Amino acid sequence: MTEEDSTTEADADPELPEPLREHLYAVVSALVGHDGLLVALDFDGTLAAIADTPGAAAIPDATREAIEALAAEPNVEVAVVSGRELSDLRDRVGIPGLSYAGNHGFEIHTDEYVLHPEARAAEETIAKIRDRLVGDLADVEGATVEDKGVTLTVHHRLVDEPDVPAVVDAVESVVAEREDVRLTTGKDVLEIRPDVEWDKGEAVRQLEAELVPESEDWLPAYVGDDTTDEAAFAVLADHGLAVKVGDDPDTVARYRVADPEAVRAVLDWLGSYGTSFLAAEDSDFPV
């Protein structure tokens, strides 16, 4: 297939999002010759549109069907990686047979559930910080403290703009008092987690180690929209596909799609067409 041919093929499929259309030949080339495919997907802002409250986020039925179809393909593993608590994440995805990494990878479930030991040790600390912040932010309308067991997320999406600095100050003050937690930020959220060198990038490494057969060469791919996903993009910089959702220019991901609907289109394409390139020869693309 020539580069011109690949453009024609993409143009014939209206479901393909524009960035994938522009780089289809490169994506196909990445798939060719690999024995299998590991697809890791963020949840909020990637599979589900960003919602005003954590409880309102949901995967559209069409996206769920696309994930199910892709996961059913031979030599394909699908994992969902999120800052959400793992139990909440599994309930919202609701697809048997997938792997999960919750709480930014502190919780991982492939064949069995594993909680990072240092995260378990921090649960009491996280509970104390939760109680403190619930009191400190009680008078800030729209601010919510989400307790995820081994991490906390303070949401300020619904807080009036003039009041947001007060939320930030309250969280930063609590974190500054302790040496055993760290603060990270995302889209209208402040996240408090154990001060451990662990993130979504390490979660992807762990998923690769557990899901990819040692004797085989699989292509890993990661799709995400937020700053916390950059760690996963960085891990795949030299041997996988990193796909950013949205138009934020500050990313190390090489490829981009517009929104969760475009993610659904990518998953559809992979399941119905893209996986046919696995184990193909460079000179023998199936078209």
As a whole-number percent, the residues of the chain with pLDDT over 70 amount to 90
Q: Please tell me the predicted confidence (pLDDT) of residue 22.
A: 77
pLDDT in tens, 154-209: 999 999 999 999 999 999 999 999 989 999 998 899 999 999 989 999 999 999 99
User: Which whole number is the average pLDDT over 18-44?
Assistant: 85
pLDDT in tens, 82-116: 999 999 999 999 999 999 999 999 999 999 999 99
* Beta carbons of 201 and 232 less than 8 angstroms apart: yes
Would you name the residues annotated as active-site residues? 42
Q: What is the DSSP letter of 212?
A: S
What domains lie within the chain, and their CATH numbers? Answer: 3-116+198-277 (3.40.50.1000), 119-194 (3.30.70.1020)
- Which has more pLDDT, 285 or 137? 137
pLDDT in tens, 41-58: 999 999 999 998 889 999
User: Which whole number is the average pLDDT over 222-247?
Assistant: 94
How many CB atoms are located within 10 Å of the residue 62 CB?
A: 13
SS3 at position 80: strand
What are the DSSP E strand ranges found in 99-230? 99-102, 107-109, 113-115, 144-147, 152-155, 181-186, 189-194, 218-224
- Per the prediction, the chain carries an average pLDDT of 89
pTM (2 d.p.):
0.86
Q: Please tell me the predicted confidence (pLDDT) of residue 181.
A: 93
